[in-house]
Structure 1
């Protein structure tokens, strides 16, 4: 897959899809928040209306006290008149004006009627009526004295709710009931409630009594009986006064209200999509605008990405032409940006690679030339060996054993040094070589040099690099022994444990100054650069041997040195077992 396609897919996955998803999520969050605010706002408005209705019901109920505490009304209902004239006069003078006063002072009251228990007098209509003419529930006639009740009545063909407030009127001593006050309330009492609910073409309203029986309904959304009952049951079982529920594929807002004074429940259902149809349209418009904007930005992004990746693709195509024998430079457009810097760096790398290949080729030619010269040089050592052998034979003929021995030992040293084409040898051969070197030095130094060997290890087959012992012995003789006139002891001890072979070379010579010793030890431990030892004074030999030992024997191997001025020096070589064994 090309880099352009990868960038396009990355843009879609990392930017496009997350932005669209986040936008929809944010919109839904705000939409749900708006629904909550809408429902809460209507709850507040309706509750305020219900409080106003509660105040109006108290005012309506207070009309009962005006009749109960009026002695003329009690006398009329009790039939305590001697003549009909007294009864007519009392009613027209005191009772009818009371009716008129109540009706005129409270516009919520549509009419009032007192149903008389006793019928031993004249009945003045419409204010008075016989108890037998009471058409509401029969159980109301059995209300106890001092108790009022709100009653609703409906007509099947008319959803209008008729409200009545009924209250028993007792005699002066409240010994018996003498009438039933029926106050008929106008629809103006609950009309503000319907107005605050703002019913529309996609909403239903149910009015229920205390037994949760529907006494009135306004249905704009048709439901069957089972669905209606299920919704109403959910409304009464809900812990909140409003909730959202999907009914028949439509999201519905279901709200419940309770008018405590009237003992009525109101359940309203409203289609959310119909209420917020404008918001829903805006949602689609917003999504479309965002999508078009993102597509436009995506196109611009693709053009910009293509302009960048086009040069990368050209460079990539050019790089595929490079092989071990062909290093062409990129000659396309090189701008002063990151891609241009990459191209310039590539060309610089190609030039360097071409130089290195040519250098390697020249090195190979030089190596072959050196091998040829080395092969020619191998003829010269034979002449040297033959010459030394001739000197030994002449010395023996002249009865000079020291010169003969020195010539023989020197020849052995030359043979060992010229056999160094092999990088490895045995520790036994290294020991034999240093013994030959020490023999020559003993002839030169005489009795001043005392040498001891102590070998407690199997060195016959222990593989090690060439020339790791002679530099140690040479350092001891040149820097520690040859510079003093006293007799000096040189000891070489070799021992081993399960993991390492130890070689200790110690002398009782001049020793090393403290500053120089600290410098050498710092280089051995890797804390100081080896270039600090180039100013003379010794130490390079043991550092080189230590590095060779570390490379050959691995971790834990190396060289250590201790010394005391005018007392001597000790070098320890630690060789790990297992490397090449």
Structure 2
């Protein structure tokens, strides 16, 4: 695992967390503002589009009403009556009268580019006259096929160039209405060409609701077919590309973000009216979200300033928060070097304060334990010296007792020689080379020597007996366990002994089970001043010893 230093780690964590927070806040603000801004703009634009839709429908209804008026007028009925016998002069008169009559409509309604009558009643004369001046044209020049009128009486043709007029590049929308004769057959068609630029002027006039300068509109029919393209500044090629997004529109109004050639647009569309007309508007996102982008840039600027302020603050906080850590590390280094006076001052953070308290307590305990250990080592050293001295002193005592023994023997003082020899041997068994356990036979000999010394002092008033089977003498017992009982019996048990009565102490051994046996020290002394039964019980002391070779004092 890669290791980090605490201060750089805290500094990087604080800076990265602030950067992440800034990014999250910026993204959240940008998208939330964008969403609500888009929603507000879309709702406002939908209201404007609905007003534009009503204006367009009114204009289109005006065209349809004009076509109906023309088709039912008496002049039109007279023109379309079967006149097979007219001559060229009569045809020219009819053509002139029709032109003058139809020109009144284009004069009154300047948004009408031209009005044309299509019929085969005058097919033999319709090639005569200047091109583009005739308003009565043969059915062969009808801009659509006749089969389209099998089920309908009128149709709208999407914006196109009027081929009947020379030097006219302005697109027109054409409304064609079927005209019936008296027999119910088709007498002809009236076609009214609506200047598409007039629709643009209608929707982009100064009186229209304020809207972006790059506004682009599409007029759709009931089948979502583009009938007209109206734009303030967008070229026709891009308008053609917009048509790809209108084919699958739902019937309800709404808005949708789209992307075209790397540019983003907001598409807003109205619902289909009863007349099945609707408007789709495309707004460039760059201009639409210009204010939102300003807000985003302001947030980023503020975030950058905050981030620059965060750097020194993060550095200060990182240093401030970990201030006790270097002190604790220095304290551990002092402990490693043997200096246990490394106390750290308290800190305002609770966790660090507990850690410092524990460190100071640890250093104090280590110092105390080292002092105790040093004192114990000194005591151990002193004890070792004392042991050496105690080993030296008994040897000196042995040698002195041996000298007394030989001196008394030379001078014939057998009693002194006997006492010195017994006492020297008694000391040797007591020391036993420092061993804690000795064989029972050595312990019996030690008790026997003590008893012999006491017999010498008490003459014939003290009797010592042993009743120990030889099988018990091989087991090890704690040394000097018999002599204190014998000494206690002599000092306390025989203090009230009557004259002429002998003091008697006996040592015996009895087996309890396969693994244990007991040593019994009994005397005939006075015992304690209690009841007789208690006195009898107190007069006998028992030692329970295991018989497995590892001797254990039971009671």
Normalising by the residue count of structure 1, what TM-score does the alignment of the two structures yield?
0.53
Could you say what secondary structure the match of 1:322 adopts?
Answer: helix
CA contact (8 A) 2:218 2:226 kept: no
Greater Rg by CA? 2
Partner residue, 1:390 = 449
Q: Displacement of 1:353 after TM fit? A: 2.4
Q: Displacement of 1:163 after TM fit? A: 2.3
CA contact (8 A) 2:116 2:192 kept: yes
CA contact (8 A) 1:112 1:127 kept: no
CA distance in 1, matches of 2:477, 2:298: 99
Q: Displacement of 1:280 after TM fit? A: 1.9
CA distance in 1, matches of 2:36, 2:168: 36
Aligned length: 425
CA contact (8 A) 1:205 1:268 kept: yes
Could you say what secondary structure the match of 1:5 adopts?
Answer: helix
Q: Displacement of 1:129 after TM fit? A: 4.2
Q: Structure 2: which 5+ runs fail to align?
A: 84-99, 127-131, 395-426, 432-442, 483-511, 525-535
CA contact (8 A) 1:141 1:180 kept: no
CA contact (8 A) 2:270 2:279 kept: yes
RMSD value over aligned CA atoms?
Answer: 6.2
Residues 218 and 417 of structure 1, relative CA distance in 2, 3 Å threshold: farther
CA contact (8 A) 2:68 2:177 kept: no
Higher RCO structure, 1 or 2 (CA under 8 Å, sep 6+): 2
Q: Displacement of 1:362 after TM fit? A: 0.9
Mapping for residues 538-577 of structure 1, pairs under 5 Å: none
Partner residue, 2:81 = 78
Residues 25 and 301 of structure 1, relative CA distance in 2, 3 Å threshold: same
Partner residue, 1:147 = 153
Normalising by the residue count of structure 2, what TM-score does the alignment of the two structures yield?
0.55
CA distance in 2, matches of 1:7, 1:295: 17
- Within the alignment, does 1:164 sit opposite 2:174 as a pair? yes
Q: Displacement of 1:51 after TM fit? A: 5.2
Residues 404-438 of structure 1: CA deviation (Å, up to 9, x unaligned): 439987995334989xxxxxxxxxxxx99972337
Q: Displacement of 1:299 after TM fit? A: 1.5
Q: Displacement of 1:361 after TM fit? A: 0.9
CA distance in 2, matches of 1:277, 1:198: 14
Partner residue, 2:303 = 290
Partner residue, 2:528 = none
Residues 86-128 of structure 1: CA deviation (Å, up to 9, x unaligned): xxxxxxxxxx999979997x897676555565469xx9xx999
Partner residue, 1:24 = 26
Select 2:478's aligned residue among 404, 407, 414: 414
Select 1:251's aligned residue among 260, 264, 278: 264
More moved, 161-170 vs 59-68: 59-68
CA distance in 1, matches of 2:248, 2:148: 33
CA distance in 2, matches of 1:390, 1:413: 18
Partner residue, 2:13 = 10
Q: Displacement of 1:349 after TM fit? A: 3.9
CA contact (8 A) 1:257 1:267 kept: yes
CA distance in 2, matches of 1:351, 1:328: 8
CA contact (8 A) 2:67 2:191 kept: no
CA distance in 1, matches of 2:272, 2:133: 29
CA distance in 1, matches of 2:271, 2:368: 96
CA distance in 2, matches of 1:236, 1:78: 43
Q: Displacement of 1:9 after TM fit? A: 1.6
Partner residue, 1:436 = 517
Q: Displacement of 1:392 after TM fit? A: 8.2
